[in-house]
Amino acid sequence: MHEVKSHQPTGYRCPFCNIVSGGEDEGLIVLRTDTVVAVLALHQQVGNHGALLLFPVSHIESIYSVPELVGAALFTATKRLAIALKEGLSCDGITIRQNNEPAGDQDVWHYHVHVVPRYTHDNYHHEPRFAMPVAERIEYAKKLHRVLAESAA
């Protein structure tokens, strides 16, 4: 069995646990179940607005510790979010990314999946990231939340 090493520093204050506990604006939440939460990402890529972060409600540092039932819920939610981005933002495709450990570019020590809208010729890998203002993030979240609610009905 793989030995799981923690990389989070002593006294780490997890931003995703803060969201789960209600420490962030609820308007940023696109999807919430008993198992997972999806929010509009703070950092957006120029030309690819609407990127989402999906993470488990429970604090799980990396893929190595994700229980299978939580993994299944994450996969199901990833698919729902990808479809919502396609329908709500009329994007041409979706990029799904998940990083583990420092060598894998993980920098938040709570397992999470990036679900990013993509467009033909969007130059995604060469455009800068920026911190999107909260009000703008809330507008994207509202739109995607509506799409998800309509698809569940």
Does the pTM exceed 0.85? yes
**From CA 30, how far away is CA 138, in angstroms rounded?**
9
Q: Report DSSP letters for 27-81, one per residue.
A: GGEEEE-SSEEEEE-SEEETT-TT-EEEEESS---SGGG--HHHHHHHHHHHHHH
Q: Is 5 among the domain residues?
A: no
Segments forming the whole domain that contains residue 60: 15-119+127-152
Domain count, the chain: 1
Q: Is 34 among the domain residues?
A: yes
State the CATH number of the domain containing residue 102: 3.30.428.10
Higher-scoring residue by pLDDT: 113, 11: 113
Q: Is 4 among the domain residues?
A: no
How does pLDDT run across 89-131, given as a tens digit for each residue?
Answer: 999 999 999 999 999 999 999 999 999 999 999 999 899 999 9
Q: Is 74 among the domain residues?
A: yes
User: Which residues have C-beta within 8 Å of that of residue 77, sequence separation ≥ 6?
Assistant: 31, 33, 36, 38, 54
Asked if residue 82 has pLDDT above 80, the reply is yes
38 and 115 in contact (C-beta within 8 Å)?
yes
User: Strand 52-56 and strand 93-97: pairing?
Assistant: unpaired
Q: Is 2 among the domain residues?
A: no
Asked if residue 1 has pLDDT above 70, the reply is no
